Chains A and B, each alone.
Chain A
Amino acid sequence: MANSEIPKPAIRWHIAVFLAPAVLVYTAIMIIPLFGTLQLAMYKVVEGESLFVGLENFQKLFGDERWSASFWNALANNTWFFVVHMLVQNPIGILLAALLSSPKLRMAGFYRTSIFIPTILSFVIVGFTWKLILSPLWGIAPDLLGSIGLKSLYTPWLGKEEYALTTLALVSVWQFVGIPMMLIYAALLSIPDEILEAAECDGVTGMAQFWKVKLPLILPSIGIISILTFVGNFNAFDLIYTTQGALAGPDFSTDLLGTFMFRTFFGFQLQLGDPNMGSAIASAMFVIILIGVSIYLFGIQTRLRRYQF
């Protein structure tokens, strides 16, 4: 029969082979630990024995007066940390990218590199450098302000409850402003010249061109940047740890979910580590980030209009 002569489509093994490394590595170092953490959060050590206690750790985290106060404090601080990044880092990043992509700008390469360099520095270097700059004793911040007659504006920002978190958020903005800048810059460069020329023929130039033509075209990139910022901020830990230690002083005013989790999981100074409660916090962080990413994926990304050139 004619049919039988048509060869059956062969199983395409090469797909599985090519996917295997990524799947295996990702499973081993991401998925298994993730479920391990969720499992650990359901246990509790009682007299040296690990016992399954279901959701008791979560009940304690949200129900106990002290635990829940710490948790909500960390979550509120983390939200503020994120808000500062969204309000300062991303607009400045977009502005810098717009300036850099202007054909009239000279030495664009130099600016681009120097603004991006802090991003590749270690948190430890950035943390200690800024801690020294802002130090009331040895720092240059008081003298710099003094030299322009604004010494009265100086306060030990990292030591005051009301300023410390914002100061650290701005340090983090300083470090990472290069990332939105680069992504937006790339998006701006990929806008075809024909579109811009057509806009010019229609009389849309200068600022109007940016708002009406370029911005809608880079919106998907801004969306990506927002979600990267969100995930990065809600996992943040290093900067706080290097500048303020795991106690996230003064008086826990710079405590983020990351430092709260670290302190609980590994212990610090007099506090002993409790891996089970730490895992419960890590799981809560996972859920928070999951919710945020889902809102973005289903609520925003599907509604973004894309343009094909």
Chain B
Amino acid sequence: MKNRLLGTLTGLATVFAALGTANAQDATLTIESWRNDDLAIWQEKIIPAFEAKNPGIKVKFTPSAPAEYNAVLNSKLEAGSAGDLITCRPFDASLALYDKGYLASLKDLDGIGNFSDVAKSAWITDDGENPFCVPMASVIHGFIYNADAFEEIGIEVPTTVDEFFAALDKIKEDGNYIPMAMGTNDQWEAATMGYNNIGPNYWKGEEGRLALIEGTQKLTDDGWVAPYAQLAKWKDYLGDGYEAQTYPDSQNLFTLGRAAVYPAGSWEITGFNTNADFKMGAFIPPVQNAGDECYISDHTDIGIGMNAKTENPEAAKTFLNWVASPEFAAIYANSLPGFFPLSSEPVKLEDPLAQEFISWRDKCNSTIRSTYQILSRGEPNLENETWNASVAVIKGTETPEAAGERLQKGLASWYKPQQ
């Protein structure tokens, strides 16, 4: 018995040893990512497509939980155990990694030329010299609605703020649906899907965002407080117990057909397509007066860079060049509708909901989330504070004006142009 066990073990050991040597001949690239939702798509579509073209390079996709990604990645990089390819958060989080020497400069990568300056802006040094991540996708904010419910109750898709609240009132009156699915438990939901979704219409997109960075506008200005005033009105239309509602709760409420409107980011499309069995549509964040110019948050959200200490720099560069190619853009955009490619060459999207979102790029002015570039470099972190303020305003524990003042005070405490 004992001998047999020993025999089996030795056998296994030989097999593993053989496997080990087989792998060592090829380059294996490991990708760090926070997109654990996309694991299946990477394994079934993206990686096979790459490996078919590049025999000899194996790719492993090893995502971690979104909430812990930044912290986990930092520890791994410090310990020297991070993967060869690093999925990049936009702006300062990744810039900090580059400054510490963890990310390699991609100045000489051929594929980087396929992207516009706007696309590259999220992953480039302040002097514009060294890009360090290949832009992969952006996400667009807006509202997704249950089209069947809208038809049943007899409401039109709203375009102005007044119409928006009138529609919500009607849904509430009807009583069959929760007007809007959003909770404050996870905090970021209120800021990202709420404040940064409706906000660009008030601060006029890039104009306001850049003015804030230059210091010519303040967070106490009307354009920055008004979105909070609108958020404060949302309270009455959220479900019972929204205070304890988590992000997955909100997703489920909507896909189960219990809520009519969902303040969304386009990344939801894949999940909603699988889980919802009713017709869905999307509308642009409503403007204040009919005919006003509209502004959308088209946020450069995800890029991919190379670990400066990778053992396979050539293989990693091959992969990054492929990511920059139209082939990758087409696979990625169509297997993950809602992550819109940033490459200059147009990509044809098949999903109708995704088509609706991307069509807004022609109708409205694009901007990115207001707090991401530069303004969250210091302590207190403006993005974190915005989460907190959005929740407080929705719950009614802080007035919009008080929230604006608190954020301005925090920002001015470390950011020179605002002092």
Contact = CB atoms under 8 A, between A and B. Distances in A.
Given A66-B380, A136-B240, A247 B93 contact: no
Nearest to A48: B100
A251 B388 CA distance: 7
Nearest to B66: A269
B70 interface: yes
A251 B392 contact: yes
Main secondary structure of the interface of B (DSSP, over half): helix
Interface stretch (A29-37, A109-117, A152-160, A285-293): A152-160
A137 B245 contact: yes
B401 to A, nearest CB: 19
Interface in B20-68: 67-68
A250 interface: yes
B74 interface: yes
B206 interface: no
Interface in A124-143: 134-138, 142
Contact of B384 (A134, A250, A271): A271
Contact of B391 (A48, A250, A273): A250
B381 interface: yes
A267 B244 contact: no
Contacts of B379: 66
B346 interface: no
A137 B419 CA distance: 45
Interface residues of A, number: 29
A159 B388 contact: no
Given A157-B244, A267-B71, A250 B185 contact: yes
Contacts of A210: none
A270 to B, nearest CB: 6
A250 B243 CA distance: 8
Contacts of B252: 137
Contacts, number: 88
B328 interface: no
B106 interface: no
Interface string B372-396: 0000100111011000100110010
A249 interface: yes
Contacts of A246: 67
A250 B187 CA distance: 8
A150 to B, nearest CB: 16
Contacts of A297: none
Nearest to B71: A267
Nearest to B395: A250
A266 interface: yes
Given A249-B185, A251-B388, A268-B68, A136 B74 contact: no
A272 interface: yes
A272 B186 contact: no
B305 interface: no
B381 A271 contact: yes
Contact of A247 (B187, B245, B392, B397): B187
A272 B245 contact: no
Contacts of A157: 244
A10 B142 CA distance: 84
B243 A160 contact: yes
B253 interface: yes
B202 interface: no
A137 B96 CA distance: 40
Interface string B349-376: 0000000000000000000000000001
A35 B93 CA distance: 32
Contacts of A158: 185, 244
A136 B392 contact: no
Interface residues of B, number: 36
B381 A159 contact: no
Contacts of A160: 243-244
Contact of A266 (B75, B100, B242, B249): B75
Contacts of A220: none
Given A249-B185, A270-B93, A271-B381, A156 B244 contact: yes
Interface in B180-196: 183-188
A134 B241 CA distance: 10
Nearest to B410: A66
B241 A159 contact: yes
A118 interface: no
B187 A249 contact: yes
Given A269-B70, A273-B71, A250 B184 contact: yes
Nearest to A66: B380
A147 B249 CA distance: 24
B239 interface: yes
B67 A245 contact: yes
B391 A270 contact: no
Nearest to A247: B187
B94 to A, nearest CB: 12
Contacts of B243: 156, 159-160, 250
Contacts of A136: 239-242, 244-245
Nearest to B253: A137
A269 B376 CA distance: 13
Contacts of B249: 135, 137-138
Given A137-B249, A268-B68, 4 more contacts: A136-B239, A158-B185, A161-B397, A266-B71
18 contacts: A136-B241, A136-B245, A137-B239, A137-B241, A156-B242, A156-B244, A158-B185, A159-B241, A159-B243, A159-B244, A249-B186, A250-B243, A250-B391, A251-B392, A251-B397, A266-B75, A269-B68, A269-B188
10 closest A-B pairs by CB: A136-B241, A159-B243, A159-B244, A267-B71, A156-B241, A156-B244, A158-B244, A156-B243, A273-B71, A269-B67
